[in-house]
């Protein structure tokens, strides 16, 4: 016991053990804690083990980290039951409020091929970065959207729905592509020029011009068109 009212120990100190392995060694039961040169305090037990830090009803409790100054902290605010994490001079980095909502002060980085996971009873819903230019979205473990740096894919049978009652649907069923208007009203297209091509995009099928003609084609050849006072069929063609 020192003259200043402080205790000084010149070696390892044990509580519950006469063979401490660290500067402070608290021991209960027959636990066997690992040790290393950078560990200076150990609390071990063969049952549950906690460290309790308690303060007043509206006071804060926590742990500070650093070298010669406080550089980081974990802080619990008893007043509003929130927990704060600070880094880089105790600058606030993360707040967890009493409803388990998390607020990050900086960016959230997820390593490539890792997932942002939302747990669910029927399977996992998650977002996965497959590569630097490929991001996938899954619902209940089923891929719903695949995005790359220049386009996105929607798997066969998955629909893009518009309207409160799925009034307009766009999808591919594995065999055919569908645009389905099933809601109130009709399907309205507005344009000054409508051109419908074949799959190779090298032949017209239909061409409609605002305030002008509507032309129908067969195998890339014009067969029928509207004109100002009626319709027109090429002279070499017949009407059957």
Closest to 128 measured CA to CA, from 115, 110, 141: 115
The side-by-side arrangement of strands in the sheet containing 204-209 is: 193-197, 204-209, 214-218, 221-227, 230-232
Kindly give the confidence (pLDDT) of every residue in the chain, 240 residues in length, as a single tens digit, with 9 standing for 90 and above: 556 677 778 889 999 888 888 899 998 877 677 778 888 898 888 888 899 999 999 999 999 999 999 899 999 999 999 999 999 987 999 999 999 999 999 998 888 888 888 875 556 888 888 888 889 999 888 899 999 999 999 999 999 999 888 899 999 999 999 999 988 889 999 999 999 999 999 999 999 999 999 999 999 999 999 999 998 888 665 555
pLDDT of residue 18: 87
- The residues, ordered by sequence, that sit 6+ positions from 132 with a Cβ below 8 Å of its Cβ are 112
d(CA 146, CA 35): 47
pLDDT of residue 122: 53
- The single residue listed with the structure tokens 């819903």 is 125
pLDDT of residue 184: 86
- The residues, ordered by sequence, that sit 6+ positions from 150 with a Cβ below 8 Å of its Cβ are none
d(CA 29, CA 52): 19
């Amino acid at each position: 016991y020192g003259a200043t009212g402080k205790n000084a120990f010149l070696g390892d100190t044990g509580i519950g053990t006469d063979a401490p392995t660290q500067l402070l060694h608290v021991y209960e039961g027959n636990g066997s804690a690992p040790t290393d040169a950078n560990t200076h305090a150990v609390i071990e037990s063969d049952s549950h083990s906690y460290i309790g830090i308690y303060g007043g009803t509206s006071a804060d409790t926590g742990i500070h980290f650093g070298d010669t100054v406080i550089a980081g902290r974990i802080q619990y605010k008893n007043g509003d039951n929130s927990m704060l994490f600070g880094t880089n001079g105790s600058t606030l980095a993360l707040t967890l409020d009493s409803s388990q909502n998390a607020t990050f002060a900086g960016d959230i980085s997820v390593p490539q091929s890792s997932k942002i996971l939302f747990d669910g009873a029927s399977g996992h819903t998650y977002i996965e970065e497959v590569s630097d230019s490929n991001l996938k979205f899954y619902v209940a473990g089923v891929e719903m959207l695949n995005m790359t740096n220049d386009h996105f894919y929607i798997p066969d049978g998955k629909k893009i729905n518009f309207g409160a009652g799925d009034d307009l649907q766009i999808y591919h069923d594995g065999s055919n592509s569908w645009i389905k208007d099933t809601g109130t009203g009709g399907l309205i297209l507005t344009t000054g020029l409508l051109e419908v091509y074949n799959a190779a995009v090298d032949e017209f099928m239909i061409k409609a011009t605002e305030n002008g003609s509507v032309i129908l084609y067969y195998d890339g050849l014009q067969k029928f068109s509207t004109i100002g006072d009626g319709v027109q069929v090429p002279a070499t063609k017949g009407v059957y």
